């Protein structure tokens, strides 16, 4: 008997939460709106489909609250200044950096893959390659034991 349900519906809801959090960070970066205002607007929007609301909130508030510390972690692995990143690259990289730092229960490969998928969906033609390279270097530093065990 085959079912048409996804193998892991929680994963798709988490992916959707990442998409919305990335868009929220993008909005914050361009508009300067507070994370609570962005979260409320997202939660009020009924057409966004199913997503993990709690994870979305953790990502959005965490990235915005810790953006300076996240930028410090990212900077040594970039070929330009953090402020010179495109808004999409900035948002995706900040989200990936936050997950690598604050969510050790999520395998680093999942974090990188999710960030690459976001960059493919929302970024420029080769932005995903840049995101992959930066987060791969960052993971090697932040999660050295996990990366070495691969």
Domain ranges of the chain: 9-148
Q: How confident is the model at residue 6 (pLDDT cuts 50, 70, 90)?
A: very low
CATH 1.10.940.10 given to domain 9-148: yes
Contacts of 27 (CB under 8 A, 6+ apart): 33, 38
Condensed to tens digits (0 to 9), the pLDDT of residues 13-68 reads: 999 999 999 999 999 999 999 999 999 999 888 778 889 999 999 999 999 999 99
Written as one string, the DSSP assignment of 15-46 is: HHHHHHHHHHHHHHHHH---HHHHHHHHHH-G
Res 11: pLDDT: 53
pLDDT at 89 over 90: yes
CA distance 23 to 39: 11
The answer to whether 112 touches 52, Cβ cutoff 8 Å, is no
Find how far residue 88's CA is from the centre of its chain. Answer: 10
pLDDT at 4 over 60: no
pLDDT at 131 over 50: yes
Helices (H), 45-143: 53-65, 67-74, 87-102, 108-122, 127-142
CA distance 13 to 79: 33
Q: How confident is the model at residue 124 (pLDDT cuts 50, 70, 90)?
A: confident
């Amino acid at each position: 008997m085959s079912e048409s349900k996804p193998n892991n519906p929680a994963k798709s809801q988490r992916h959707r939460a990442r998409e919305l959090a990335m868009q929220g960070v993008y909005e914050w970066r361009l508009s300067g709106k507070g994370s609570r205002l962005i979260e409320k607007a997202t939660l009020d929007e009924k057409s966004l489909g199913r997503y993990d609301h709690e994870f979305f909130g953790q990502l959005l508030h965490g990235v915005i609250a810790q953006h300076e510390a996240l930028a410090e972690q990212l900077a040594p692995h970039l070929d330009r200044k953090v402020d010179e990143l495109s808004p999409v690259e900035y948002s995706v990289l900040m989200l990936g950096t936050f997950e690598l730092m604050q969510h050790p229960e999520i395998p680093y490969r999942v974090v990188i893959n999710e960030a690459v998928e976001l960059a493919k969906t929302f970024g420029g033609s080769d932005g995903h390659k840049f995101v992959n390279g930066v987060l791969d270097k960052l993971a090697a530093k932040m999660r050295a034991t996990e990366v070495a065990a691969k």
